[in-house]
Amino acid sequence: MTLTRPVAINGAVSWAMNKDIAKQLATLEGKVLRRMLGVMKVNENWRQQDNKELMQLFGDLDILSIVRISRLNWIGHVSRMESQRKESHLFNVNPQGRWL
């Protein structure tokens, strides 16, 4: 896990993840990995590595998978909490009425 991941996904368990946020996180990860891993030399030419090459070199899950796993871990944690805790109550509440 790179140093930027904990900073970039701090509080991600409570985010409303959408396509825009997912794209921004993937873009950030690609930029950071390119900066860390640099360019590669192919046939006397230097070029930037594409995302698949970066992830193969890095050898870890991508940032979106880590967010999904952390959200699942948080849901498991909240589901095991005592029912008197606020987090557990909010997780298990069944709202009534109409959405405005």
- Could you tell me if 15 and 73 are in contact, meaning their C-beta atoms sit under 8 angstroms apart? no
89 is a domain residue: no
Q: Looking at the 3D structure of the chain, how many domains does it have? A: 1
Is 46 among the domain residues? yes
- Model pTM? 0.67
42 found inside a domain: yes
**By residue range, what is the domain housing residue 72?**
20-82
Q: What is the pLDDT of residue 34?
A: 80
pLDDT digits (tens, 9 = 90+) for 11-68: 888 888 899 989 998 888 888 888 877 777 677 777 777 777 777 777 777 888 888 8
Any domain includes 66: yes
| Whole-number pLDDT of residue 5 | 64
Q: Is residue 34 part of a domain?
A: yes
Q: Is the pLDDT of residue 3 over 70?
A: no
Look at residue 76 and tell me if it is in a domain: yes
Query: Does 96 fall in a domain?
Result: no
Whether 90 is covered by a domain: the verdict is no
| Residue type for position 45 | N
Could you list the beta-strand ranges (E) of the chain: 40-42, 45-47
Report pLDDT for 36.
77
**What is the reported pLDDT for 19?**
92
